[in-house]
Amino acid sequence: MFFIVGWSGYLIPVPEEVVLILFGYVCALRGADPLVFIAICFIAVLVGDSSMYFLSLRGSRLARFLKRKVSKKRFAWFEGLESAHAGFFIFFSRFIVGMRFLNPIISGFLRVPYKTFILFNGLSALIYVPFLVFIGYFFQSKISATLGLVMYVRHALFTGFLLLLTLAISLFIHKKFLTEE
């Protein structure tokens, strides 16, 4: 759980939002204490972001690779925002999809002091992590119903596909082997 939350979006190609909501859902499903899940997720988020910050600060290959995934124009715009308003940018970037991922990378490359980074990143995570975990926790029954509907639709589509495939094979066999020419 710790690894999945800490590296989601970086090494694990699943958005952090989805992972946190999913863990809230699992917490409710298992009857676990949501505060324990929130604490673990909060620490994992800080460790993952701090790791990316330090990898970027040192110019690691992974950080350079992730930096190249963003257009130069967009990255330059983010750099301009962060260099002008570092604390503001670090805090609010967590709440904007796509910028949360870049926040530690840009902060590291710009050599924002770690104290500034961890303070504003931690403050935003104190709001962000419990909010998303509680969404999964409190809406567990709705999520379960939605998952049930998705499974039903998936089975219906699969059954329909099998029927169409059977019909196509039957028509092919009939036309190829059973019709007189």
Q: What is the average per-residue pLDDT within 35-53?
A: 92
Maximum mean pLDDT: which of 60-69, 75-84, 119-128, 140-149:
119-128
Cα separations (Å) of 103 from 3, 37, 55, 161?
A: 19, 24, 13, 44
- pLDDT over 70 at 130, yes or no: yes
User: Predicted confidence band at 146 (pLDDT cuts at 50, 70, 90)?
Assistant: low
Percent of the chain residues topping a pLDDT of 70: 94
Do 134 and 145 fall into the same domain?
no
The CB density around residue 152, as the number of other CB atoms within 10 Å, is 10
On the 0-12 / 13-18 / 19+ scale of CB atoms within 10 A, 59 is: exposed
Q: Which domain holds residue 179?
A: 141-181
Do 146 and 159 fall into the same domain?
yes
Do 94 and 150 fall into the same domain?
no
Q: What is the pLDDT of residue 147?
A: 65
Do 110 and 181 fall into the same domain?
no
